[in-house]
Amino acid sequence: MNLADLAHVRDQDLAGEASAPEARDLMHAIMSEEREPVIVARPRRRVRRGLALGLATVAAAAAVAVGAGMVGGPVTSYANAAVSIEKTGGYFSVNITDPTADRRRFEEAFRAVGLNVTVKVVPVAPSEVGTLIGPVVPDGFKWHGSIGTQGITPCSSAFCAKVWMPADFPGRVVFGVGRPARPGEPYVENGPVDPEGEEALSGYTSHGKTVAEVRAELGRRGLKAGYRLLWKQRNEDDGSLSWFDEAVPGSRIKDDWIVASTRFHSSDSVDLYVTPGADAGPAPTPHPQPQWYDLPD
């Protein structure tokens, strides 16, 4: 049917208000015309396969990371604001960045790599600030392997060292971290003195001189003197000789006794390690003295 051949009609004709034959023919034509169904297309969401796989991979990786963190086992490296520790083979590399930090920051790092370590921040001489003192095993080292420390140079931190010890050692280990001592505060001793000569005074040799001579040199430098007698003892098992020292008052020391070594006791005093003279009397029975690692925090 060609709609162009139909007569023009008015709105009222289309609405059925007119009954003219032309209007009825037009309405019949419109109502009987076949119409194509109208399909409204909905937009489709298309996800690229690569992106979908990528998101799945990220999710899986995140799950693995969370899972590893939840296991709670020792790690091979750990760092915080005070110290960084990295396990390499049979030793641990330790870099101290803040010697004045709370001791718990150091313990946190050692324990993260699986070591049962107690750390004490202790007063030391200026040259020892930031150094790692120890390791000390209060109950004795009875395990396979060995334990010790070796400094590393050059070092970009306050102190760098290699600490070797069995990673599976179950005993308690104590380290000290040297902090600046306050004026007059006693320094922590890092090991026994060398009885064959250890010198505290720059440019001056005390070994072999009399107590009177060394004391006079201390006076010229504005330093006070402390005294320790160096006693020999023989090991009953193998007959070897060892040394122990006894802190004594100045009244126990004679001017003509010989000084073996000197070591700074604090910022304003030096300990004289003296070989007892013939009239010093018998050596006392050695007994353990409280050490820095025994003292309460």
Residue 8: pLDDT over 90: no
Banded pLDDT at 124 (limits 50, 70, 90): very high
Q: Do the bridges between strand 269-275 and strand 224-234 make them parallel or antiparallel, or are there none, so unpaired? A: parallel
% pLDDT > 90, the chain: 39
Q: Does 135 sit behind a cis peptide bond, omega within 30 degrees of 0 on the bond before it? A: yes
Check residue 37 and give its pLDDT.
Answer: 42
Residue 228: pLDDT over 90: yes
Residue pair 176/125 in contact (Cβ under 8 Å)? The answer is: no
Ordered by start, the domain boundaries in the chain are 77-180, 192-297
Residues 6+ apart with CB under 8 A from 134: 149, 173, 174, 175, 176, 293
Check residue 9 and give its pLDDT.
Answer: 44
Check residue 286 and give its pLDDT.
Answer: 81
Residue pair 259/211 in contact (Cβ under 8 Å)? The answer is: yes
DSSP states of 28-82 = HHHHH---PPP--PPPPP---HHHHHHHHHHHHHHHHHHHHHHH----SEEE-SS
Q: What is the pLDDT of residues 175-196, one digit of tens each?
A: 998 999 999 999 998 788 999 9
Q: What is the mean pLDDT of the chain?
A: 78
Q: What is the pLDDT of residues 126-172, one digit of tens each?
A: 988 888 898 899 888 888 888 888 888 888 888 899 988 887 888 88
pTM over 0.75: no
Lowest mean pLDDT among 21-25, 94-98, 151-155, 275-279: 21-25
Banded pLDDT at 65 (limits 50, 70, 90): very low
Banded pLDDT at 83 (limits 50, 70, 90): very high
Check residue 1 and give its pLDDT.
Answer: 46
